[in-house]
Amino acid sequence: MGLPDLISEVKKVDDNTVQFVLTRPEAPFLADLAMDFASILSKEYADNMLKAGTPEKVDSILSVPAHSSCCNTRKIPAFCIKPSRLLGTKPKIDRLVFSITPDASVRYAKLQKNECQVMPYPNPADIARMKEDKNITPAGTAGSERWLSLL
């Protein structure tokens, strides 16, 4: 991977954006950033860790203080907000559950019943019906890449 040789500079574009300047084209760069050791933490988190004298302490989960031992009786990944570790505004959700559903038609059925709120990779045959449903908002475009990295 060789990230130190690949990244020549990281520039601040604005308060919410950084630009990575690479020494060469590197197709898997975005996938590399999604790996656990390459987590991008918020400025607020870094400032608090510096203030506490523990800049090496990395507890990044969902970019908000959370823990995985909440309300999880069905043995599926669930993450709950840990109020004692909030650094700023409370997130709009208290609990995030990952329902890993390999079958696209089952994922779509869960989306329709509001058993889940986000669904990747729909069946191409379902896309027209999904676009007609006023309760479903498409969030991707052709060629877009989405991921969530958890530690």
Could you list the pLDDT tens digit for every one of the 151 residues in the chain? Answer: 788 899 999 998 987 788 999 999 998 888 888 776 676 777 777 888 889 898 776 654 444 444 445 554 555 666 676 666 666 677 677 777 777 888 989 988 988 888 888 888 888 888 888 888 888 887 766 555 444 434 3
Distance separating alpha carbons of residues 98 and 115, to the nearest angstrom: 11
Task: Report strand pairing: 17-22 vs 66-67.
Answer: unpaired
Which pTM was predicted?
Answer: 0.43
